[in-house]
Chains A and B, each alone.
Chain A
Amino acid sequence: MGENNLVAFPSPPSLTPPLSPKDRMKILRVPMPELDPEVRSRNFDEVNLGLTAAAALDEAARCISCAKPGCVVDCPVGVKVKEIVALICAGEFLAAASKMREDNALPAITGRVCPQEHQCEGGCVLGKKGSPVAIGNLERFIADYERQSGRLGLPPIAEATGHSVAIVGSGPAGLSAAGDLVQKGHRVRVFEALHELGGVLVYGIPEFRLPKSIVKSEVDNLRRMGVEFETNVVVGKSVTIDELMQYEGYDAVFVATGAGLPRFLGIPGEHLNGVYSANEFLTRINLMRAYNADEYDQPVYDCRDRDVIVVGGGNTAMDAVRTARRLGARSATLVYRRSEAEMPARIEEVRHARQEGIEFRMLTNPVELIGDEKGWLTGARCVRMELGAPDEDGRRSPVEIEGSEFILPAHVVIIGVGTGANPLIQSTTPDIKTNSRNYIVADAESMRTSKRGVFAGGDIVTGGATVILAMGAGRKAAVSIHEFLTTGAWEVEQPART
């Protein structure tokens, strides 16, 4: 790329491409370069290496610019994918990144962790006959390109309004709301319970999938825009929402605490030594860097030459089992009670896991964890399952096959079967309504809760979902908070119970 192509806001690219749609459809999808599985299953380096500019140009050329872009429709936050791909095609990478930021404040992150196959790429018309345009890889490319160019133009900040907003939680919902609100001229302070900023992006998602330096750079951008951050504050304990509003001068509060209460299986043996929730295992590794035992003090069970089982089929379970592999586990096995088709994990993670030698035991469910006389785990008693009739969600529910019991040896079992609502905020702010599962009730559009001035979004409202949905919630909340701050109007209408 020549310097001249790095103009921040170039004129719109020519939409009359030299290639015909037929030609474009003949181009094969550019594969994402990856670290060798043998090498990467022994370290925590990022698996995907990123596209080169030439590869990005090739991949973008596959887009046929269809009249009704399914990619835009199927993106939860409506990223203008078609326009962005056209800009990439024209070599206008920075303009593409800036177009992306209109709808997505954290593209370097979502480009890495979104389940694209169910969203933008799932809507791509090319996917009907072959492979969809690699939108996720392109998104990551322009975000990384922008960051490495050092030419990230900070968006303009409106004149100070004199209003203050407290954001509880520095995960994807909190960060994206913070970015939008500070641009509107409001004073924004983000409170984080842990010592590091980023929420699930730093304690949950491993380095090999989302390097912490990327999260840090996004946080630093927000800081440059004027967002204040305060770590080590557990809202509900260190300070309540009422105190923030009454004594610390916040006009509005956005609760974006995430789900954050690990679910266990409720089977015998879950107190044995060697049994972890995926949250604990991943927090020890990601937030506390226990994988670097020589330098960091927080311990984690030594997985070297031992058998590790991870229970679950989502991205968290996949992260945990691949982490165990990297810690030197002799065997790292994923146990899931349905079949692979029902697994909620991203397709790419499943593929990467297989390459790294993860063993998949589908249609298997642990019923008891077994230990020795000293309380150390030795194995999991499992049963085989078969798929029965579809449940309320339309997923076929697994049914135990009688007499199919067997024992899988294990020194470590990690439970990654989802999370529930952490009650810290709700229990200290009784006028915030919750549903029967203790999630906060908030209007799906305005994100307003039952308490005046308090908004909520992300996993604490929806239950465990994705980074992009949480970001979308953060952005919606920002619009609604801005409206509340400027008009002072609070609809008395109660949000519908979910």
Chain B
Amino acid sequence: MYKIVEARSVGLNIKQFVIEAPRIARKQRPGQFVILRLHEKGERIPLTIKSSDPANGTITLVVQAIGKTTSLMNCLESGDSILDVVGPLGVPSEIKNYGTAAILAGSVGTAMALPTAIALKQAGNHVIFIEGARSREMVVFEDEVRDASSEAFVMTDDGAYGEQGLVTKKLNELLAAGRNIDFVLAVGPVPMMRAVAQITAPLGIKTMVSLNSIMVDGTGMCGGCRVLLGNKSKFACVDGPEFDASQVNFEVLMQRNSMYRDKECQSLKYFRENNQQELAGLRSELAAKEKGLTPLCEELTGIQPPEPCLTQIEVRHG
């Protein structure tokens, strides 16, 4: 049981949660994710961690309501709990001083890219953050983006806020203006990441993309999240989630992500018709479970936070 200590809406259908998860909070590095299951009958879904607070034992997740599970999650409020949260999973972002780093993020992808942007800036990079969103209501964390970067641009599809156009339009403009970019991280919908790769690969700019393939266990045990890099198969959960964009087969990724679309649509439709019952069911199930459980944070209090060990995680991307 993982208690939600704070829940607030940050954009259209986008909500930010601060969740008690002391073990994860201690170990989380930029780019890593958790897998969560809301209730006994729920599915396991991966979500990237926006930030963590080791002292308070909390992590912050940002969720856009898209399918049934994310829609149900976005009905939760502070004081509610989540049944299972496991992590931090995946290989953290590689942080070093590239020179100039451009971060391209689409809407909720901004939350996932923020920790890496902050770390890159701390490592001495000139960080250009380009946030894209469909419309003004979906522009999120603008203040944090400005803090995390040396230059920030907001792009909206309809031009109602910031500049009109896609994030790739801004990237092209910067490159056309002769700006030197040494590293790119793109986090967002697959077509957006593919478009970024198509721009940067011919220029030889090192580009990483954070892949959102379908996962089950998150430990490399099932192989459901396999992605094709060149002719090699990799598991996004343990080898990723970030991969070299020039190697990624985006068509296979899109095709595999569509595998359960019919079932997802049915579930969502059912949820929309019955969301109050579903929410009430979740709450009563978790309330029954909570009785007799010692919160893990209490149990772990007094155990020295293992700061010195954290550096070893930096070894990566073999």
Q: A residues within 8 A CB of B189?
A: none
A44 interface contact, C-beta 8 A: no
Q: Are B223 and A193 in contact (CB under 8 A)?
A: no
Closest 8 interchain pairs by CB? A375-B255, A280-B222, A232-B86, A297-B43, A298-B43, A299-B260, A195-B84, A299-B263
Within residues 222 to 263 of chain B, which ones have a CB less than 8 A from any CB in chain A?
A: 222-224, 226, 228, 233, 238, 249, 251-252, 255-256, 258-260, 263
Interface centre among B42, B221, B226, B296 (most CB of A within 10 A): B221
Q: B residues within 8 A CB of A274?
A: 259
Q: Which residues of B contact A (CB under 8 A)?
A: 23-24, 27, 37, 41-44, 68-69, 83-89, 216-224, 226, 228, 233, 238, 249, 251-252, 255-256, 258-260, 263-264, 267, 296, 303-306, 309, 312
Q: A residues within 8 A CB of B42?
A: 297-298
Please measure, in the bound complex, the distance between the C-alpha atom of A231 and the C-alpha atom of B220, giving whole angstroms: 17
Q: Are A261 and B220 in contact (CB under 8 A)?
A: yes
Of the stretches A70-78, A235-243, A359-367, A389-397, the one at the interface is A235-243
Q: Are A242 and B309 in contact (CB under 8 A)?
A: yes
Q: Are B216 and A264 in contact (CB under 8 A)?
A: no
Q: Which residues of A contact B (CB under 8 A)?
A: 193-195, 203, 230-234, 237-240, 242-243, 246-249, 260-262, 264, 270-271, 273-274, 276-277, 279-280, 283-284, 288-289, 293, 295-299, 301-302, 374-375, 422-424, 428
Closest to A276 in B: B224
Closest to B39 in A: A297
> Smallest CB–CB gap between A449 and chain B, Å?
19
- The residue from A230, A239, A260, A288 contacting B219, defined by CB atoms under 8 A apart: A260
- The residue from B83, B221, B255 contacting A422, defined by CB atoms under 8 A apart: B221
Please measure, in the bound complex, the distance between the C-alpha atom of A297 and the C-alpha atom of B73, giving whole angstroms: 13
Closest to B253 in A: A271
- The residue from A242, A247, A283, A297 contacting B222, defined by CB atoms under 8 A apart: A283
Q: Are A428 and B312 in contact (CB under 8 A)?
A: yes
Interface centre among B86, B88, B228 (most CB of A within 10 A): B86
> Smallest CB–CB gap between B246 and chain A, Å?
18
Q: Are A288 and B223 in contact (CB under 8 A)?
A: no
Q: B residues within 8 A CB of A249?
A: 303
Q: Are B238 and A297 in contact (CB under 8 A)?
A: no
Q: Are A246 and B306 in contact (CB under 8 A)?
A: yes
Q: Are A277 and B306 in contact (CB under 8 A)?
A: no
Q: A residues within 8 A CB of B238?
A: 423-424
Q: Can you list 30 residue pairs at the A/B interface with Cβ under 8 Å?
A: A193-B86, A193-B217, A193-B219, A230-B296, A232-B86, A233-B23, A234-B218, A237-B87, A238-B27, A238-B86, A238-B88, A240-B312, A242-B309, A247-B304, A248-B303, A260-B219, A261-B221, A262-B222, A264-B226, A270-B233, A271-B226, A280-B224, A284-B216, A298-B42, A298-B43, A298-B216, A299-B263, A301-B260, A374-B255, A424-B238
- The residue from B85, B256, B263 contacting A273, defined by CB atoms under 8 A apart: B256
Please measure, in the bound complex, the distance between the C-alpha atom of A293 and the C-alpha atom of B306, giving whole angstroms: 42
Please measure, in the bound complex, the distance between the C-alpha atom of A296 and the C-alpha atom of B37, giving whole angstroms: 11
Contact A301/B259 with A232-B85, A238-B88, A247-B306 known, Cβ cut-off 8 Å = yes
Please measure, in the bound complex, the distance between the C-alpha atom of A262 and the C-alpha atom of B258, giving whole angstroms: 22
Q: A residues within 8 A CB of B221?
A: 203, 260-262, 279, 283, 422
